[in-house]
Amino acid sequence: MKRYIALASGVILCCSFASSAFAQSSVTLYGVLDNGFVYQSAGSNNSAFRAVPGGLFSTRYGLRGSEDIGNGLHVNFQLEQAFSGQTGAATDPTKAFNRLAFVGLSGGFGEMRFGLQNSPQYDVLQAAMDPSWVKSIASPMNNFNALIIRANNGISYYTPTFGGLNAKFMIALRDSSTGGGNGIGFYNAVVQYLNGPLNVAAGYERGDEPAIGAGGSYNLAGGAAAGSGAVLSVFNAGASYAFGANRVWLAYHTENLTRTPKYMQHDVYQISDSYQFDPFALLSLMYGYVHDRTGHGNNAQQLGLLFEYSLSKSTELYTAAGFIQNRNQASYTLSGTAYAGLAVTPGTDTRGIGVGLVHKF
């Protein structure tokens, strides 16, 4: 009898340890839904009123998880897929997770990630560049600049924060699905300093089109296309400082895009201001100027306005408006975060306004 009691006690003890171990793991389902309407006009007989997804946030769902394996170490993963909140269709139906698919390890040393992931410039630096985090038709940086948003075969390292200073590094390797090459096809480094009301960040990235592959993506402005053999080099810098409820933002972007048969070289300058009227209402004003460095005078400037009103911690209403003045052959348009703007005839001004509802879960 005593032997059975001892055996039962052992089983209960093992179950207890197993339950404790499982309790150290967590998996979270999350997502963002953003639907709205936009009106855009670009000259006579060229206007449109559309229902659009992703005017401020890309509509998506995902899974993130973490397991505590002891000694301050955690194994982390994240899977994420974008889709249209208007139709329910996946942005890329050929992939189960087209935005994120990585696993990594974090601890006192910082964090490592392996797989399809956002570039540090996109994931981190944009938060220092303007009050919209470079999103919506209101942001000149969103409409004027190019960026490698994410890449396949990524290997990244995020340092711990020391006195408000941290750095993030990423490379992406080529494989048989990215042109049959080998070696490094993309790299990105970002340095950030956060101290009270001050946020300063700068970063450089360089990548070629084959290295990014089908899972990665470009954000290109001004009617550009990546094209065959495209190589994109980008330097970004941003800073903001809060004075009570008011925050002032400065940002700079320079890029070189080489592609067959054309190329693009320009600088973007932006100044912004945001004011938090109360915990629910935020108003942001943004002005940006893009200078064409090819000598063709394809310059442009934009004024943007974004108003966000929080209905709860998870839901907000927003209104975004923008006006772009194009010069010579410049054809910059007003694009939402997850939709393309109206095609613009070179040298034609364009204006637009959109409203939307965002819910996060």
pLDDT digits (tens, 9 = 90+) for 161-207: 999 999 999 999 987 665 556 788 899 999 999 999 999 999 999 99
Structure-token pair, residue 307: 């108003």
Give the pLDDT confidence score for residue 15 in this predicted structure: 42
Q: What's the DSSP call for residue 129?
A: T
Whether residue 177 lies inside any domain: the answer is yes
- Residue 92 CB: number of other CB atoms within 10 A? 16
Phi, psi of 3 (to 5 degrees): -65, -40
Closest of 315, 345, 342 to residue 328, by C-alpha = 345
209 contacts: CB under 8 Å, gap ≥ 6? 218, 226, 227, 228, 229, 230, 231, 259
Return the higher-pLDDT residue of 245 and 124: 245
Q: What is the pLDDT of residues 296-309, one digit of tens each?
A: 999 999 999 999 99
Whether residue 154 lies inside any domain: the answer is yes
Q: What is the pLDDT of residues 56-82, one digit of tens each?
A: 999 999 999 999 999 999 999 999 999
Whether residue 141 lies inside any domain: the answer is yes
Whether residue 293 lies inside any domain: the answer is yes
Residue reference for tokens 């009106």: 39
**pLDDT confidence band for 336 (50 / 70 / 90):** very high
Cβ-contact 298, 330 below 8 angstroms: yes
Whether residue 10 lies inside any domain: the answer is no
User: What is the distance between the alpha carbons of residues 118 and 80, in angstroms, rounded to a whole number?
Assistant: 11
Instruction: Give the lowest-confidence range in 56-65, 115-124, 268-277, 322-331.
Output: 115-124
Whether residue 245 lies inside any domain: the answer is yes
CATH number for the domain spanning 175: value is: 2.40.160.10
Q: Looking at the predicted structure, is the pLDDT value of residue 331 above 70?
A: yes
Give the pLDDT confidence score for residue 260 in this predicted structure: 59
Instruction: Give the lowest-confidence range in 16-30, 50-64, 134-148, 242-256.
Output: 16-30
Residue reference for tokens 């911690």: 313
Give the pLDDT confidence score for residue 22 in this predicted structure: 46
Question: Between β-strands 198-208 and 231-243, what pairing exists: parallel, antiparallel or unpaired?
Answer: antiparallel
Instruction: Give the lowest-confidence range in 206-215, 251-260, 325-334.
Output: 206-215
What percentage of the chain exceeds 90 in pLDDT? 76
Instruction: Give the lowest-confidence range in 5-9, 103-107, 139-143, 147-151.
Output: 5-9
Whether residue 8 lies inside any domain: the answer is no
- Parent domain of 196: 24-360
Q: What is the pLDDT of residues 107-137, one digit of tens each?
A: 999 999 999 999 999 988 989 999 999 999 9
Q: What is the DSSP string of 133-163?
A: SS-STT-HHHHH--EEEEEEEEEEEEPPPBT
Whether residue 9 lies inside any domain: the answer is no
What percentage of the chain exceeds 70 in pLDDT? 85
User: What is the distance between the alpha carbons of residues 170 and 134, in angstroms, rounded to a whole number?
Assistant: 21
* Averaged pLDDT for residues 228-253: 93
HEC letters along 284-350: EEEEEEEEECCCCCCCEEEEEEEEEEECCCCEEEEEEEEEEEECCCCCCCCCCCCCCCCCCCCCCCE
Query: Is 276 in a helix, a strand, or coil?
Result: strand
The total of structural domains in the chain comes to 1
Give the pLDDT confidence score for residue 11 in this predicted structure: 39
β-bridge partners, 104: 76, 113
